[in-house]
Amino acid sequence: MRNLDQHTITQEVIGRFADTPDPRLKEIVTSLVRHLHDFAREVELTEDEWAKGIAYLTATGQKCDDKRQEFILLSDVLGLSMLTVAMNNAKPPQCTEATVFGPFYVEGAPHYENGDDVANGAAGEPCEVSGAIRDLDGQPIAGAKIDVWQADSEGKYDVQRGELDHPEGRGVLHADSEGRFHFHSVLAEAYPIPTDGPVGELLAATRRHPWRPAHLHFRIEAPGYETLVTHVFRSDDEWLDSDAVFGVRQSLIAPWVRRDDGSYSLTYDFVLNPVGGRG
């Protein structure tokens, strides 16, 4: 078709994807084209603005490496990460809620035994974390694999510290025969998400703060159960109601209790949903 204009081009583009053999891919691409074109028409996007948009996406990709995922960060601050989590994690109300994955998970974290110190040198006030992994009936899930990771007292993850030659504040443990776990680490502190890249430029331009409330990351896996990716948030944090990535859920807020010796403790139990279970 020739002489396409702003009113006819969308259907022509969609038509070019008509023979896509994968029906789900066809559905996604078709909807993407329709919404992108409608967006451009709605805001009357200029050629210069679109060129700047392409440059922004290019810079976002260039900021990514094996230790930093700027596109995840962009998805987070736009609320898209939490939207997909909310749409894809319908579970019975007694199950632990999921939240955003974040850009600082690392495969192959060191393995620890229950009772070990996963801080491994990370700066911060001492904290003991304990809890249990259970099913919907309250029965223990023995041997559940538990990935944990967190920032240090300065709000930095180990992968943000180029001087480190070993992991800090992250590790893999397994629940015991009663589904219980416990480990030592450091007190979770609030921190700003990285602002030295395109996402930081977006926040500054829109006058948004970059702060995340203090939290500890968990990724819990067990055969026969849906993998749970979640956080536990400190109940006394000032940023709970304005998390930069929209990840706070009331059920995930818990107290970090200060002990007489100045250290802290956190106790939190997790409930997993069986594969194919109720949603």
CA pair distance 234, 275, nearest whole angstrom: 30
Can you tell me the distance from the alpha carbon of 16 to that of 1, in angstroms, rounded to the nearest whole number?
Answer: 11
**pTM, full prediction:** 0.90
How confident is the model at residue 279, as a pLDDT?
Answer: 57
Enumerate residues 6+ apart whose C-beta is below 8 A from 148: 118, 129, 170, 171, 172, 173, 183, 185, 216, 217, 218, 219
Res 1: pLDDT: 67
pLDDT in tens, 106-140: 889 999 999 999 999 999 999 999 999 999 999 99
Q: What is the pLDDT of residues 71-111, one digit of tens each?
A: 999 999 999 999 999 999 888 999 999 999 988 898 899 99
pLDDT in tens, 146-175: 999 999 999 999 988 888 889 999 999 999
- Nearest Cα to 34, choosing from 48, 50, 15? 15
Rounded CA separation 249/256 (Å): 17
Closest CA to 270 of 256, 251, 257: 251
